[in-house]
């Protein structure tokens, strides 16, 4: 009986972990529902970064470059360390195209999470927004179930969470030292980026968006 009870408890813990931790209601004082603006800077940028990825079957790391064109376009190129293989993707508004490559579409976060990695809050149409503020931190729950929880620090989007059945499913976080972390809890996927350089450029060739 003890062995059965232990097995049941272990299955429960593994299942709970796969479903993500329980998320409580927002804390802090009620605030107006207006959120800080998060539009992309009005200049073309070339962002260089290092990356590391891991899931249950795959690990990889290397370097990458993001070409960002306001108001709604990003081209990503990722290169594996020690080799010529890699992946590319184009994000335009809500559409993410990641044809072929070693990593493919499953490697990258979904569009709302990917936009949040660049500091832009761009969610599917939804309603019911609750906003609370605690010092210099503003948090907003957007939508019902699933719902998105956005965290701003001094008007800068720092974290975006996807919550379903009151459990955390995915999240992306940006830190002041230019590190970006993405986690997909149910799929046990992790992607870490470290920005090493940001350049303002005059423009990009139109062919990079194809």
Q: Over the stretch 72-109, which tens digit does the pLDDT of each residue have?
A: 999 999 998 877 677 889 999 999 998 765 555 678 89
The mean pLDDT value of the chain amounts to: 87
Is residue 22 included in any domain, yes or no?
no
**Which of 96-100, 127-131, 135-139 shows the lowest mean pLDDT across its residues?**
96-100
Is the pLDDT reported for residue 57 higher than 80? Answer: yes
Decide if 183 is inside a domain: yes
Say if residues 79 and 62 touch (Cβ distance below 8 Å): yes
> What's the whole-number mean pLDDT along residues 198-209?
95
Q: What is the pLDDT of residue 100?
A: 61
Is residue 133 included in any domain, yes or no? yes
Is 15 a member of any domain? no
Whether this prediction's pTM lies above 0.85 is answered by yes
The number of folded domains in the chain is 1
Paired tokens of 120: 């832009």
Q: Which domain holds residue 146?
A: 38-205
Residue 54 lies in a domain: yes
DSSP symbol at 101: S
DSSP letters along 136-154, please? TEEEEEEESSSEEEEEEET
Tell me, what CATH number does 87's domain have?
Answer: 2.50.20.10
26 in a structural domain = no
Rg (CA), the chain: 19
Is 91 domain-assigned? yes
Classify residue 30: in a domain, yes or no. no
């Amino acid at each position: 009986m003890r062995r059965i009870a232990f097995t049941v408890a272990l299955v429960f813990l593994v299942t709970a972990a796969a479903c993500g931790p329980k998320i409580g209601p927002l804390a802090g004082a009620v605030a107006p529902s207006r959120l800080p603006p998060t539009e992309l800077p009005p200049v073309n940028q070339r962002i260089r970064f290092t990356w590391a990825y891991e899931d249950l079957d795959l690990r990889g790391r290397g370097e990458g470059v993001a070409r960002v064109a306001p108001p709604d376009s990003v081209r990503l190129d990722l290169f594996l360390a020690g080799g010529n293989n890699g992946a590319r993707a184009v994000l335009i508004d809500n559409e993410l195209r990641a044809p072929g490559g070693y990593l493919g579409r499953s490697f990258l976060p979904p569009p709302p999470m990917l936009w949040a990695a660049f500091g832009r809050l761009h969610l599917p149409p939804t309603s019911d927004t609750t906003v609370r503020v605690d010092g210099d931190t503003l948090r907003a729950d957007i939508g019902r179930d699933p719902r998105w929880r956005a965290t701003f620090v001094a008007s800068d989007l720092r974290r975006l969470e996807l919550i379903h059945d009151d459990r955390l499913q995915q999240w992306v976080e940006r830190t002041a030292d230019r590190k970006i972390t993405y986690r997909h809890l149910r799929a046990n996927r992790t992607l870490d980026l470290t920005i090493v350089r940001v350049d303002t450029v005059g423009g990009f060739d139109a062919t990079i968006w194809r």
